[in-house]
Amino acid sequence: MNNMKAMLIHAYGEDAVFEPAEVEKPEVKAGHVLIKIAASSVNTVDTMIRKMGKELPLAPETPAILGMDVAGTIEAVGNGVKDFSIGDEVYGCAGGLADLPGTLAEYLVADSTLIAQKPKNLSMPEAAALPLVAITAYEGLTRAGIKQGQKVLVHGGSGGVGHVALQLATHFGANVYSTGGGEKQIALIERLGGMAINYKTETVEQYVAKHTGGTGFDVVFDSVGGANMANSFKAATLNGQIASTVALCELDLSVAHFKGLSLHVVFMLIPMLHNVKREEHGEILRNVTRIVESGGLTPVLDESRFSLDQVGQAHARLESGQAIGKVVLADWA
């Protein structure tokens, strides 16, 4: 039997652990490609699945191989695949939920519609940092109808999704402002070209008055969500657009009603979960590749480096709230 190394979860919960194992190497099938994985990254949804398991409608059956983002090299191409060849360096968000095996392994068989050619100017770890967060940010901003010259507020501009949304909004020609709560976060926001707002020292009313003359922001991209969505409603202009990635909450919509706001809830896993419009993710990633190669987007990697064997520590790093940018798993040699 042709085996590969993988990190398995045998039971979900707060104390769930990843265990190394030898599992059968997957075989390529029609419409798919076999990827030799070089790097993956950790997203908040990965930690939620590990802890909550079947409380979420997207957790795989155990024992499970988690991990959604991937960057690597194609080793085999299935029937019907026309856009990829053996040896192509690719990236995507292609597994780790429902019946799709994840990326915490040496190989992944991925639906070819979910991946794209890796940006040539990025390393494998850098490319692996992008797919889930880039698709999320791109979808949120475009659904909100972002336009050149608009004032855009990004909540959480130093986080995984936020630091990408900030750069994409700038690429689309907006004037971008972003909230952060510490010196490192503020410094990163400014380095990425945003106007930093320290939410710990300025109220919503204060920064809306300071930066918009009190009228509010045209688009608010809220990667913090939850209770913070009330701040997004306050910060938006009349008939403004809100895109949120964290809407698992109960919320009073009165402010949104009286301001005529439009709310766009972004749940980018829908194509993977329901096998609908997966080709849209490939198209977004092709656009992201062009933006990256033109210099419009650079992923930020957290200073902590982890190998596949250290995925438990990588999850802990993300959950600590101390990470700046994306937490990546790779062979760093």
Q: Domain locations in the chain?
A: 3-130+274-330, 133-265
In this predicted structure, the answer to whether residue 333 has a pLDDT above a threshold of 70 is no
Q: 3.40.50.720, 3.10.450.230, 3.40.50.1820, 3.40.50.300: which CATH number matches 133-265?
A: 3.40.50.720
Among 27, 16, 41, 197, residue whose Cα is nearest residue 132:
41
Please indicate, yes or no, whether the overall pTM of this predicted structure exceeds 0.75.
Answer: yes
Instruction: Tell whether the torsion through CA atoms of 264, 269, 275 and 279 is positive or negative.
Output: positive
Distance CA 304, CA 40 (A): 14
Q: Could you tell me the CA-to-CA distances from 222 to 8, 193, 200, 203, 306 in Å, in that order?
A: 33, 18, 17, 16, 28
What's the mean pLDDT in 203-208? 98
SS3 145: coil
**Phi and psi dihedrals of 270, rounded to 5?**
-55, -50
Residue range 234-243: average pLDDT?
Answer: 98
pLDDT digits 0-9 by tens, 313-332 = 999 999 998 888 899 999 87
3-130+274-330: which CATH number, 3.90.180.10, 3.40.1260.20, 3.40.350.10, 3.90.1150.10?
3.90.180.10
pLDDT at 247 over 80: yes
Mean pLDDT within 80-97? 97
